[in-house]
Amino acid sequence: MEKISKLIAAIVRSEFGVDLTSSVSISDGEHGDFSTNVAMQIAGRVGASPRDVAEKIVAKLDLDAEIAGPGFINITVSGRWLNDSLNDEWSEKFGENRDGAGKTVVVEYPSQNVAKPYSVGHLRPGNQGWAARNLMLATGWRVITDNHLGDYGAPFGIWVVGFRKFSSPEKLAEGGVYELGRVYVAMKAELKEEEKRGEHTLSDRVQEWLLKLESGDAEAVEYSQKFNEISLDHIHEVMGRLGISTEHELGEAFFAPRGKAEVQNLLDAGIAVKNPDGSIIVHLDEYGIKTPVLLQKSNGAALYATTDLATLKYREEQWHPDRVIYAVAAEQKFYFEQLFALAKKIGIKTELIHMWFGLIDQMNKDGTREKMSSRKGVILMEELLDQAETTARQNAKSPDMSDNDIRKIALGAIKFTDFSKDRRTNILFNWGSMFSLTGFSGPYVQYAAVRVNKILRDNIATPPAAISAKYNFEAEREVLKKLIEYPNTIKQAADSLEPHRVAQFAYDLARVVNRYYENTPVATAGVDADTKAARLGLLAKTAQVFAHSLNILGIEIPERM
Ligand code: ARG
């Protein structure tokens, strides 16, 4: 596509003296391989009819081209032409580009809260954030990743009071983060009851422990270290299972004290204002936002926005990013509008992006669809992963599949579901189809990749010969056309932060390749050496693109399936 765009751009320049700033847009032709409406685009500018413009272009184009309608140009190329143009572009890093060269991006994910076990609420931020990281890397950015842990505020106090009331060191040793979660939920319920009664003994105690922690009280610090360690170990373990990680892990607790100092600066500068009750806000009317952002409570406590204010400043000072991507659920859309307006108001020019997601639905046995939950309420990530592994094992064709391959397939199914549609749409967990080897699923694509890899492995002895000029690549047309699209897919997915475009591509490639060897013997007896080398060469390229695209999505290719 790149090649054909350039060809046409060159003709347009020499014939009409028009410099097309963007590359010529080429689409899959309905009649032919490619089509372009460039003649219509420039006709007005050069003062000729689209049809005349198209005719001039076609006359110069050394390819089989036809004009349709008011001036569409439909181009048909040979298989050999496709192969040669793919070869021209081919590299070890085929698909990557340098759009982001010299620029720095901070990508923030999955930013769980430490108080409770990792739940599916942070599945999409993790998967999509990881894919965003990979897309930025594939387009040449310098990438810094940060897990903005929700580890500040009341949870600590609630844990301590709840632990002393409902739990014991033995129970904690046994249940770990699940015991902490149980204590947290039970304590929250008690606090609610207490509030209803109009009392505040327990909530006072929660505040006391928070103050103790702030003042460095030894017992409070010990509790905090113990609980955080349990929770963090859990978070790391589950992130490991999901195959995601971040370089930094600067949570809200790290930023809270800095946030308070920043709030004071904003007060001094007259940007923030103190209300009569002592709370501190920043007005955002000039950005079309009626609700001011609350930066400090009347009792002086730091808030979510306080920590984010400090986070913004810290990232500017430490990393000088050109862009920050926050992979966070859609619920926080308004909050991020406020935060980004606040950033503008304090002079931060960095591009700030809230990469948000639709909800996760589940398909019930009776065919109805609802927000994903379990009888106990929210679904835990470990349960989800366990269930996916169990299902992967049940569906496995061969009984001796390795645990590692099972794990890859389970993750492939989960992640592909996440990337099944535009990230802003709700996704559906349907255990019946997520593992389907015939439909749109991770395992379907993985299976296609495994098959390609196997053919290559079985024929490893075949040297990659130079293909003779007489091999015409007509049987390979569809695969070649798909592969040629890959760099543009990556570009678009990165520009729009839409990893599902990569998933869609990988699925389409799998389909095209499956159809290819239904009809085309690659390395069976009777295939002559020239043909075999040509076909294996194509499969090697296909294997590389499968590996690259699935890697962007955080999906690994099993050894066997
Ligand atoms: N911990 C938050 C949550 O789970 C997400 C944090 C998002 N990042 C941020 N910088 N505010 O809701």
- The predicted pLDDT at position 81 comes to 92
Question: What are φ and ψ of residue 292, in 5° steps?
Answer: -65, 155
Q: Quick one: average pLDDT of 329-354? A: 97
| Angle at which helices 333-345 and 304-319 cross, to 10° | 50
Q: Is 338 in the pocket of ligand 1 (CB under 6 A)?
A: no
Distances (CA, A) of 59 to 13, 40, 82, 273, 302: 14, 16, 21, 69, 70
- The predicted pLDDT at position 1 comes to 67
- The predicted pLDDT at position 154 comes to 78
Distance 357 CA to ligand 1 centre (A): 13
Q: What's the pLDDT tens digit per position in 402-416? A: 999 999 999 999 999
Residues 274, 294 contacting (CB under 8 angstroms): no
Q: Is 326 in the pocket of ligand 1 (CB under 6 A)?
A: yes
- The predicted pLDDT at position 463 comes to 65
Distances (CA, A) of 440 to 302, 443, 508: 46, 9, 9
Q: Quick one: average pLDDT of 505-521? A: 95
Classified as helix, coil or strand, 427 is: strand
Give the C-alpha separation, 177 to 516, whole Å.
50
Quote the strand ranges of 219-332, DSSP E.
273-274, 280-282, 293-296, 323-327
By most ligand atoms within 8 Å of CB, the mutation choice from 124, 332, 342, 381 for ligand 1 is 332
Give the C-alpha separation, 6 to 543, whole Å.
27
**pLDDT band at 27, cuts 50/70/90?**
low
Question: Which pTM does this prediction carry?
Answer: 0.94
Which neighbouring-strand residues pair with 293? 282
Ligand 1 nearest-atom number relative to CA 149:
1
Q: pLDDT: is 343 or 529 the higher one?
A: 343
pLDDT at 526 over 90: no
CA-nearest residue for atom 11, ligand 1, is 308
Cβ partners under 8 Å of residue 462, min gap 6: 523, 532, 533, 536
The letter for the amino acid at 8 is I
Quote helix, strand, coil % in the chain, to nearest 5: 55, 10, 35
Q: Dihedral sign, CA of 192, 193, 196, 202?
A: negative
Lowest mean pLDDT among 178-187, 255-264, 462-471, 500-509: 462-471
Residues 440, 420 contacting (CB under 8 angstroms): yes
By most ligand atoms within 8 Å of CB, the mutation choice from 148, 304, 348, 359 for ligand 1 is 148
pLDDT at 255 over 70: yes
Domains of the chain: 2-77 (3.30.1360.70), 150-244 (no CATH)
pLDDT at 465 over 70: no
Q: Dihedral sign, CA of 396, 377, 330, 100?
A: negative
Distances (CA, A) of 509 to 13, 448, 475: 34, 9, 15
